A and B are shown apart, each in its own frame.
Chain A
Amino acid sequence: MGIYLPIAEISVNVFVLLAMGAAVGFLSGMFGVGGGFLITPLLIFYNIPPAIAVATGANQVIASSFSGALSHFKRGTLDFKLGGVLLAGGIVGSTAGIYVFAVLRRVGQLDLFISLLYVVLLGTVGGLMLVESINALRASRSGAAPVLKKSGQHNWIHRLPFKMRFRASKLFVSVIPVLGLGAGIGFLSSIMGVGGGFIMVPALIYLLKVPTNVVIGTSLFQIIFTSAYTTLVHATTNQTVDVILAFLLMAGGVAGAQYGAKAGQRLRGEQLRALLAMLVLAVAIRLAIDLFVTPPNRYSLTAAGLN
């Protein structure tokens, strides 16, 4: 069944989009990630213009993170104060990102920049995760006890000034890295259409030493607002948010996520991480190939006067 997307201005198949949303939702439920980093490249592969894929991806992320944050809120595994500070940084980063987005679009380098960012980020994160999970799998097979990081360990981040106390996270840390992390994620959110959970979660755990149980809830909480802000600014400055497209992805996504979460409980952590790593790497490789393959036509037309 075909449907015409009003903003993307192309006809697409409803079931393909629902299935895409459901598949990504399933994976995101299984791995506890938002899925924005999968949705946006998939939309680009499906010939949705990258500018629209990014803005709509951000919109779609709200639904999945809102749904996830609700359960964490009910369980009390959510640090509002930490989320709030991250969010303050996120708004600044996102504003900068939208500005860069508009400039890149004007000079015709947006598509390239999005692809490059994806290849670099997904390649790095995927590669690191794969190495880590393979090591963990090997260690568990040989029967050796996994090396646990000592939670009391401090690093340079904990020596920075402007300290603030976050009770729910049992944390006393400088606001600088928290704001910086928020800003970085906000920037990526507006340019890549991702929530940024796949960077936020490891950063909170390894850099800020936030207890694992509040990490996902807090990350999801701040992602809701950063993506909401990103969506709003994209809608007003670039008019690139396609609600029909976003709704189809969300509808599939929220359904898939709940089943994915259930399936995820049956797999072991290391196996889960290894699978996610391979998936992330596959997306990165696919995007990288497109950068190097000779395009069918070297010339492209764009309406001038987008500024």
Chain B
Amino acid sequence: MAARQAFAAALSLSMLLALSPATAQTPPVESIQIGLSTDAISITAGFSGADLTIFGSLENPDPLVARQGRYDVIVVLEGPPRPVVVRRKDRVLGVWINLESETFENVPVSYSVATTRPLQDIAEPAKYKQLSLGAQNLYMKPVDEADAPATIEEFTAALRDRKAATGLYSENVGGVQFLSQNLFRATVRLAPNVPVGTHKARAFLFKSGLFIKESSAQLEIRKSGFEQSIFRVAHDYSFLYGVFAISLAMLTGWLGRLIFRKD
């Protein structure tokens, strides 16, 4: 065992010597970088979802490990955190009524993951829990922590399930591809109903199942276009918007009578 380790160390040392004799003493640590071509994207009202490509690179990769495909990268695009209420309908006298509910703090509105391989093949589940990585491992903090653990668990599962069903939480296995030893490309999905706000792109580097390094970048998602202007006016100048809506209705009523009058 000890002999094998020594052999591996010697092997990597000799390769490093060949690559960069100057830094031969300490094996350089791998690290990861990601770059976004822009720090803000505008989507129009008719946005029907898209793939977002993120490029990244490994720094100081071990060529042997890279050749054996033992580097894994997980890229996450995480939407802005918001509080959310999960409600459950139950039957009361035959009618389905929202009865139980659980409020969670700071739940990412969207969470898109791209990986080199299926998550379970990359690292141990405990590792993901520790890093709070992956939709299944995200920690959802209930506002009322005194609730029964089984209830919290049930509503947490329902929250993940609903998010996945609307495409806001997605997983793209094989969405990260190495283009060369250093360069990789990640494709994360943007759902049609992707929330506006500051999104965080994070890349996690794993080597033979061990977490090595993380890198992150910010991305602003904005909505643009005529419809978005209406939305903004409705929220920022709600009184004027209301007056406009009323005037429009009266004008339409008056014009309609003028144009289509039949009496």
Contact among A62, A224, A244, A299 for B161, CB-based, below 8 A: A299
Shortest beta-carbon distance from A260 to chain B in Å: 9
Which of B97, B231, B238, B249 has its CB near the most chain A CB atoms (within 10 A)?
B249
Given A304-B83, A304-B103, also A243-B245 (CB < 8 A):
yes
Query: Is B230 an interface residue, CB under 8 A from the partner?
Result: yes
Q: Which residues of B contact A246 (CB under 8 A)?
A: 245, 248-249
The bracket for how many chain A residues form the interface is: 35 or more
Docked pose: A298 CA to B96 CA in angstroms: 9
Majority secondary structure of chain A interface residues (helix, strand, loop or mixed): helix
Which of A241, A253, A291 has its CB near the most chain B CB atoms (within 10 A)?
A241
Q: Which residues of A contact B86 (CB under 8 A)?
A: 299-301
Query: Is B261 an interface residue, CB under 8 A from the partner?
Result: yes
**A-facing mask of B186-207, CB < 8 A → 1, else 0?**
0000000100000000000000
Query: Is B51 an interface residue, CB under 8 A from the partner?
Result: no
Q: Is the CB of A291 within 8 A of B95?
A: yes
Q: Is the CB of A247 within 8 A of B252?
A: yes
Contact among A62, A262, A297, A304 for B246, CB-based, below 8 A: A62
Q: Is the CB of A258 within 8 A of B228?
A: no
Which residues of B134-187 have CB atoms within 8 Å of chain A's CB atoms? 155, 158-159, 161-163, 165
Shortest beta-carbon distance from A114 to chain B in Å: 13
Nearest A-chain residue to B230, judged by Cβ: A6
Q: Which residues of B contact A70 (CB under 8 A)?
A: 253-254, 257
Given A66-B253, A235-B239, A235-B245, also A292-B95 (CB < 8 A):
yes
**B-facing mask of A61-90, CB < 8 A → 1, else 0?**
011111100110000000000000000000
Contact among B165, B239, B246, B262 for A59, CB-based, below 8 A: B246
Docked pose: A231 CA to B245 CA in angstroms: 8
**B-facing mask of A238-254, CB < 8 A → 1, else 0?**
01010110110011011
Closest 6 CB pairs of A and B: A254-B256, A235-B242, A66-B253, A62-B249, A67-B253, A304-B83
Q: List 27 A-B contacts (CB under 8 A).
A: A2-B46, A4-B46, A6-B45, A59-B249, A62-B253, A67-B257, A70-B254, A108-B85, A109-B97, A112-B97, A231-B246, A235-B239, A236-B238, A243-B248, A244-B227, A246-B249, A254-B252, A254-B257, A254-B260, A258-B257, A258-B262, A291-B95, A295-B89, A295-B96, A299-B86, A299-B155, A304-B82
* Besides A108-B101, A291-B96, 13 other A-B contacts (C-beta < 8 A): A4-B46, A4-B227, A9-B193, A11-B46, A108-B85, A109-B98, A231-B246, A233-B242, A236-B242, A292-B96, A299-B159, A300-B89, A300-B162
Residue numbers of B with Cβ under 8 A of A are: 45-46, 82-90, 94-98, 101, 103-104, 155, 158-159, 161-163, 165, 193, 227-228, 230-231, 234-235, 238-239, 241-246, 248-250, 252-257, 259-263
